[in-house]
């Protein structure tokens, strides 16, 4: 299905510092492993379209300011996981296959998509960044990325991709904003002081996770449908401003509970990663490179969620996020310090009563222009498990939104019907 043309390690183009980079508790609490994404590009007509040598040369330059991504995970003298900044390089693969861009008109994340377009490493010590340019039969390209979550969160990963793309377009390296690499701004206090309850990190939270087979679906929402969801969630437009993410997530959460036929008195929890960059004192530097996310959650009963108004669900989400401030963030960091390795990752899945919702709204998903135009589409290549939702901007400038949901195979068809039936009722 896929023919590998080249596979190599790309090192920084200049000498870079060699040292161990300390990782914060928020880094080590992230999902262990690589985050797989894929971009699709239509052919530009340029005979040098996605020139492998040009893309590799720009990658080598980008790895100078982002030199930790050319390293490997290691263990420091204190036994703590860190990044060994050894400049071994990022994995770069060039390949080709008989698919076309239009083959993925109805794109859905899956293990097969990841296998086709996102490289993996058999090594027990894989590169932190693995990249693949796959030339398609139509002349287009599928560009797959895998970045280790200990090294980057979403904003950090997109900052790296934007820098790489800018260098490929010929922009000067010194004109691009460098990453801020020092993560000690998020050190725990001494002694640690936990002043809140943090069930989102409890080892018990994911102990009863769903193991049912699952599929992923792309749910497209127009600008008009978003406006209807936001109006409904605000009680008919009475002046309460509801964000797109909260309106969409509330709708998915309620539909999910109905689809799964959960018991009315069952407890359902919505997990949310909350950005902390501007919520700590002082705020983190603009281009802080690392995980600047904490988990928060909203919990209620199925009856309250399903029978209550849509504004009830939105208020639960708002309350969960609004508590994030410097005091709360420091409490999370200190809690993780005390828990150590007992804190489990959401990568292991979630209970079949719960939902994980992640927002990529506002992130520069479609800014990856390597000199041959913007991508037609970009998404995760594979989801972690059932119960994960990503809310992203749709390609283009029509104001639409794309919801990417993983759900038990047996429930997906029923969920889609309910999801769009409720939207149709709003349009009546």
Q: Any catalytic annotation for residue 367?
A: no
Answer yes or no: are the C-beta atoms of 261 and 345 closer than 8 Å: no
pLDDT of residue 66: 98
- For residue range 231-248, list pLDDT tens digits in order: 988 875 545 689 999 999
CATH fold, domain 2-179, is: Chloramphenicol Acetyltransferase (3.30.559)
pTM of the predicted model as reported, rounded to 2 decimal places = 0.94
How many CB atoms lie under 10 A from the CB of residue 217?
Answer: 18
| Torsion angle, alpha carbons of 287, 60, 113, 106, to 10 | 70
Mean pLDDT of the region 222-230: 93
State the chain's mean pLDDT as an integer.
Answer: 92
**Could you count the other beta carbons within 10 Å of the beta carbon of residue 210?**
18
Q: What is the pLDDT of residues 41-66, one digit of tens each?
A: 999 888 899 999 999 999 999 999 99
* pLDDT tens per residue, range 369-381: 999 999 999 999 9
Q: Is 369 a catalytic residue?
A: yes
- The residues spanned by each domain of the chain are 2-179, 199-427
pLDDT, position 241: 84
Of 126, 140, 146, 136, the closest CA to residue 38 belongs to: 146
Give the pLDDT score at 126: 94
The tens digit of pLDDT for each residue in 79-119 reads 999 999 999 999 999 999 999 999 888 888 999 999 999 99
What are 326-350's pLDDT values in tens digits? Answer: 999 999 999 999 988 666 555 557 8
pLDDT reported for residue 209 = 64
Confidence of residue 397 (pLDDT cuts 50, 70, 90): confident
Domain 199-427, second-level architecture: 2-Layer Sandwich (3.30)
Catalytic residue among 149, 159, 251, 279: 149
pLDDT confidence of residue 227: 92
Nearest residue to 118 (alpha-carbon basis) of 95, 144, 143, 140: 144
Whole-number Å distance between alpha carbons of 229 and 215: 25
Neighbours of 227 (CB within 10 A): 16
2-179 and 199-427, same CATH topology: yes
């Amino acid at each position: 299905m896929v023919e590998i043309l080249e596979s190599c390690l790309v090192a920084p183009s200049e000498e870079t510092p060699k040292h161990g980079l300390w990782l914060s508790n928020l880094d080590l609490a992230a999902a262990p492993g690589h985050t797989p994404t894929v971009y699709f590009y239509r052919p530009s007509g340029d005979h040098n379209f996605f020139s492998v040598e040009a893309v590799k040369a720009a990658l080598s330059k980008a790895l100078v300011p982002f030199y930790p991504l050319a390293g490997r995970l290691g263990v420091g003298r204190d036994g703590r996981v860190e990044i060994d900044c050894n400049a071994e390089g990022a994995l770069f693969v060039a390949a080709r296959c008989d698919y076309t861009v239009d083959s993925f008109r109805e794109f859905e994340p899956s293990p097969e998509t990841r296998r086709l377009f996102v490289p993996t490493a058999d090594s027990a010590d894989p590169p932190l960044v693995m990249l693949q340019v796959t030339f398609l039969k139509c002349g287009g390209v599928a560009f797959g990325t895998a970045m280790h979550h200990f090294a980057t969160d979403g904003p950090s990963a997109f900052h790296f991709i934007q820098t790489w793309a800018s260098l490929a377009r010929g922009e000067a390296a010194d004109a691009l904003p460098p990453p801020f690499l020092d993560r000690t701004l998020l050190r725990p206090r001494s002694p640690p002081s936990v002043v809140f309850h943090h069930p989102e990190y409890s080892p018990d939270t994911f102990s009863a996770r769903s193991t049912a087979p699952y599929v992923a679906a792309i749910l497209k929402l127009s600008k008009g449908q978003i406006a209807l969801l936001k109006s409904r969630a605000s009680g008919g437009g009475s002046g309460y401003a509801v964000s797109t993410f909260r309106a969409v997530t509330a709708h998915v959460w309620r539909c999910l509970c109905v689809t799964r036929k959960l018991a009315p008195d069952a407890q359902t929890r919505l997990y949310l990663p909350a950005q902390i960059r501007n919520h700590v004192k002082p705020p983190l530097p603009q281009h802080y490179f690392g995980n600047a996310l904490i988990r928060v959650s909203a919990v209620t009963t199925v009856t309250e969620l399903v029978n209550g108004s849509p504004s009830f669900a939105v208020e639960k989400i708002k309350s969960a996020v609004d508590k994030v401030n410097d005091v709360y963030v420091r409490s999370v960091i200190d809690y993780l310090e005390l828990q150590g390795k007992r804190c489990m990752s959401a990568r292991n899945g979630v209970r079949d009563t719960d939902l994980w919702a992640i927002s990529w709204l506002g992130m520069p998903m479609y800014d990856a222009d390597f000199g041959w135009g913007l991508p037609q589409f970009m998404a995760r290549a594979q989801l972690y498990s059932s119960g994960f939702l990503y809310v992203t901007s749709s390609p283009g400038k029509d104001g639409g939104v794309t919801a990417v949901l993983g759900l038990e195979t047996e429930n997906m068809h029923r969920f889609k019907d309910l999801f769009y039936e409720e939207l149709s009722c709003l349009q009546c």
